[in-house]
Amino acid sequence: MERRKLGPSDLEITPVGVGAWAMGGGGWQWSWGPQDDDESIAAIHAALDAGVNWIDTAPAYGLGHAEEVVARAVAGRATKPYIFTKCGRVWDEQRRLGASLKAESIRRECEASLRRLRVETIDLYQIHWPEPDADIEEGWSTLAQLQAAGKARWIGVSNFSAEQMERARRIAPITSLQPPYSLLARNVEQAVLPYCQQHGIGVIVYSPMYSGLLTGAMTRERAAHLAADDWRRRNPNFQEPLLSRNLALVDRLRAIGRRHGRTPGEVAIAWTLAHPAVTGAIVGVRNARQVQGIIGAAEFRLDAGELEEIAAALAPQPAA
């Protein structure tokens, strides 16, 4: 499988990586509903066996649980994947998530992640969200110190604007940015991705299939019956009138994929990888079967005509 250099680092990553958000399981603010740990581990194994060499997780996913699942999945493997995790999200005794970029808080988070992941060094340590904004400099300075101390090999940011990255870059180099990017979330095209290109910052996008909506497996019925604690129930893109528009887009992706023996999800991921700023895409999987529906995106490339076809499908329709 192809490898791509991530920003200024020595990390050579595959075009797709495993996302562990849903592996945190249910019972927390941004959960995807219940999740079986054995299925999560089987999904990670299937992806690694197919050649994927990195996993992205965070303490917030299941309030520490996803990191523990990742540790179990990679234990005993002869070749260890890169493990990327984050900081800046903390929770209280009532399991309510909050934000902190204070130095002592980040140091505590780092030590806790190292314990849960059972590693001595985090391959890529990222600020999860730039909140509170006023503390970005303190938080980024702390990550630079953790890197100097050998706790993290490389450091990056997630969900930062171009202006926020500029503030951080004055303190220490940014290895990578992790933004949301998909056919249904394109805001970063205006300023954020060009900034990363200009300054040599790697980009690993998350939700390239828009949280499952572009996989081809989502239907009106399934969207209507998402688990009560699945955060997608609150997302307008999973509700009418947007849901019908989005499912029509999936039909277009399905038609393109059919020509190449690819799934709609693989076409959606390949679309994000076609952007010159994007190094890799984080793909969430919940079982080994789902891996087979996305792994082809690591090598599949859309041609210019297909990119134009997708652009036409995204164009606003004239009023009747």
Residue range 194-207: mean pLDDT, rounded: 98
Mean pLDDT of the 189-212 span: 95
- Nearest CA to 103 out of 82, 80, 87, 92 is that of 87
Report the C-alpha gap between 307 and 4 in whole angstroms: 22
* φ, ψ for residue 122, nearest 5 deg: -90, 130
- Evaluate whether residue 33 is within a structural domain: yes
Residue 256 burial (10 A CB sphere; 0-12, 13-18, 19+): buried
Q: For residues 301 and 317, give the distance between their C-alpha atoms in angstroms, rounded to a whole number.
A: 27
User: Which whole number is the average pLDDT over 214-226?
Assistant: 81
Q: What pLDDT band is residue 318 in, cutting at 50, 70 and 90?
A: low
pLDDT at 85 over 90: yes
Asked if the model's pLDDT at residue 221 lies above 90, the reply is: no
Q: Residue 225's pLDDT is what? A: 77
pTM summary value: 0.92
Q: Structural domain tally of the chain?
A: 1
Q: Kindly state the average pLDDT of the residues 25-30.
A: 85
Domain that holds residue 41: 4-311
pLDDT at 319 over 60: no
Beta strand residue intervals within 165-306, DSSP E: 176-178, 202-205, 280-284
Does residue 38 fall inside a structural domain?
A: yes
Confidence check: pLDDT of 288 > 50: yes
207, part of any domain: yes
Q: What is the pLDDT of residues 249-269, one digit of tens each?
A: 889 999 999 999 999 999 999
297 in a structural domain: yes
* Calpha distance 249→33 (Å, rounded): 26
pLDDT of residue 223: 85
In terms of pLDDT, which residue wins out, 231 or 160?
A: 160
Confidence bin at 215 (pLDDT 50/70/90): confident
Mean per-residue pLDDT over the chain, rounded: 93
Residue 147 in any domain: the answer is yes
319 inside domain: no
Average pLDDT over residues 195-201: 98
pLDDT at 171 over 50: yes
> What is the pLDDT, as a whole number, of residue 11?
98
- Three-state secondary-structure class, residue 91: strand
Q: Please calculate the CA angle 257-258-263 and round it to the nearest 5 degrees.
A: 50
Centroid of chain to Cα 79: 22
Q: Which pLDDT belongs to residue 320?
A: 47
Q: Cα separation of 299 and 205, whole Å? A: 17
Please report whether residue 160 resides in a domain.
Answer: yes
206 given a catalytic annotation: no
What CATH number should be reported for the domain holding residue 103?
3.20.20.100
Q: Which residue has the higher pLDDT, 74 or 225?
A: 74
Place of tokens 């730039």: 130
pLDDT band at 234; cut points 50, 70, 90: confident
Task: Give the torsion sign (CA, 7, 306, 48, 60).
Answer: positive
Write down the catalytic residue from 61, 125, 206, 210. Answer: 61
Q: What is the pLDDT of residue 230?
A: 83
Tell me, yes or no, whether 85 lies in a domain: yes
